[in-house]
Amino acid sequence: MTKVAVVTGGTRGIGEAISTQLKAMGYSVAAIYAGNDERAQAFSHRTGIEAFKWDVGNHQACLDGCAAVSESLGPIDIVVNNAGITRDGVLFKMSFEDWNEVMRINLGGCFNMAKAAFGGMRERGWGRIVNIGSVNGQAGQYGQVNYAAAKSGIHGFTKALAQEGAKYGVTVNAIAPGYIDTDMVSAVPAPVLEKIVAKIPVGRLGQADEIARGVAFLCSDAAAFITGSTLSINGGQHMY
């Protein structure tokens, strides 16, 4: 039976690369998006992957959305928590709303989606959850106390949930991308981006497909003995 994968933030950037990579592996994929209907429709037309719209930071929306995916495609076997936003600023100037929204979506979304799908995975004795963290959750980043805290929280969430899922055949892992050539990174001012690239030992930004291939491996049967781990894909920018 074809496995069903759900990818949040799955219609653009890294998420689009993950969605298309998982489809190429033979999975039935549901790509979740929050706002841009036109872009999501173009994605579905281009890839043949069905897009579903909901806010991953809304707990009930995740429960209802995952139920709709299950009804359309079948029980969910794989969840890739990729959705994330930035609301950058130094703490002195950061509003509570900017703090809370990043935590609600980036970290809260992982809980909401896992809560919606984990029970079914456990009952069926097989599942894969892959959470997309960040190099900035590992190393910190000036002006990103909210983003760094949320992404760091993802790594702890991953390790804890992995312990719960292990005996049921459910693996939970994370990937920590470095700076990837996406819309989010391209919005960084050129002088700042040049300084960032200068600190990456391989001398370039990463590509979305490089993250997607890591996700694909962790979702496969070949990775069954890997759980509670974080795969850093950052060009050597942060090593530990």
Instruction: Tell me the CATH number at 78.
Output: 3.40.50.720
Do β-strands 78-81 and 127-132 pair in parallel, antiparallel, or remain unpaired?
parallel
With a cut of 90, say whether residue 182 has pLDDT above it. no
- Quick check: is 134 in a domain? yes
Closest CA to 42 of 1, 81, 11, 18: 11
Closest CA to 83 of 38, 2, 128, 18: 18
Residue 4 region by backbone torsions, left for phi larger than 0, else alpha for psi between -120 and 50, else beta: beta
What pLDDT, on a 0 to 100 scale, did the predictor assign at position 177?
94
Query: In terms of pTM, does the model score above 0.75?
Result: yes
CA–CA dist 166, 225 (Å, integer): 9
* Residues 49/83/174/44 CA torsion (nearest 10 deg): 10
What pLDDT, on a 0 to 100 scale, did the predictor assign at position 142?
87
Amino acid letter, 154: I
**Which domain range does residue 25 map to?**
4-232
Q: What percent of the chain has pLDDT over 90?
A: 86
- Quick check: is 238 in a domain? no
Catalytic residue (one of 27, 33, 147, 179): 147
Q: For the segment 47-79, what is each residue's pLDDT rounded down to a tens digit? A: 999 999 999 999 999 999 999 999 999 999 999
- Quick check: is 239 in a domain? no
- For the chain, the domain total comes to 1
Q: Catalytic annotation on 147?
A: yes
- Quick check: is 240 in a domain? no
- Mean pLDDT, the chain, integer: 95
What pLDDT, on a 0 to 100 scale, did the predictor assign at position 27?
98
